[in-house]
Structure 1
Amino acid sequence: MTTNKRHILLNGYVSPENYRSRSNGRSPQVPARDRAVHGISLLNQYSRILNHYDERPRLPPVTDEKGIYVRLISFEQCDLPIDKIDNTYFKLCSLVKSNNRETAIIYINENDRTKFTKKINDYLNPSKDGIEFPRNHLLIDSIQNIELADITSFWTDKKDLIPDDHGVEKWFELWLKGNKEDVLNIARRLCERINGRLGNTSINFFSILLLFLSVRVYRD
Structure 2
Amino acid sequence: MDGVYLTFESIPDVHLAVESLDPRVGEAHPELVSVQNVTTTAGVVEYATVFVPDGTLGYFVSRLQQYAETAEQDKPRNRNLVDRIQAIGLATIKTLWTDPPGAFPEPTATVWWEVWLRRRDGNEVGRFQEFAQQAGVRLGARTLGFSERIVVLAQATAEQLAGALGVLRDVS
Give the TM-score normalised by the residue count of structure 2.
0.71
Q: Which has the higher strand share?
A: 2
What's the CA shift for 1:217?
Answer: 4.4
Matched residues, number: 153
Q: Which amino acid aligns with 1:74?
A: S
| Unmatched 5+ stretches in structure 2 | 163-172
Partner of 1:212: 153
Hey, which bits of structure 1, 4+ residues long, moved more than 6 A? Answer: none
The structure number with the bigger radius of gyration is 1
Q: Which amino acid aligns with 2:154?
A: L
Q: What is the CA–CA distance in structure 1 between the aligned matches of 2:53 and 2:151, rounded to whole Å?
A: 25
1:194 and 2:170 correspond: no
1:119 and 2:63 correspond: yes
Partner of 1:97: 37
What's the CA shift for 1:105?
Answer: 1.0
**Equivalent pairs: percent with the same residue?**
22
Residue among 89, 97, 113 paired with 1:155 = 97
| Unmatched 5+ stretches in structure 1 | 1-60
What's the CA shift for 1:142?
Answer: 0.9
1:173 and 2:114 correspond: yes
Structure with bigger RCO (C-alpha 8 Å, 6+ apart): 2
CA RMSD of aligned residues (A): 3.0
Partner of 2:126: 185
| Secondary structure at 2:37 match in 1 | strand
Distance 1:171 1:74, change over 3 A: same
Distance 1:112 1:205, change over 3 A: closer
What's the CA shift for 1:179?
Answer: 8.7
Residue among 67, 84, 87 paired with 1:142 = 84
Partner of 1:52: none
Distance 1:181 1:114, change over 3 A: closer
The 10-residue stretch of structure 1 (89-98 or 197-206) with the greater mean CA deviation from structure 2: 197-206
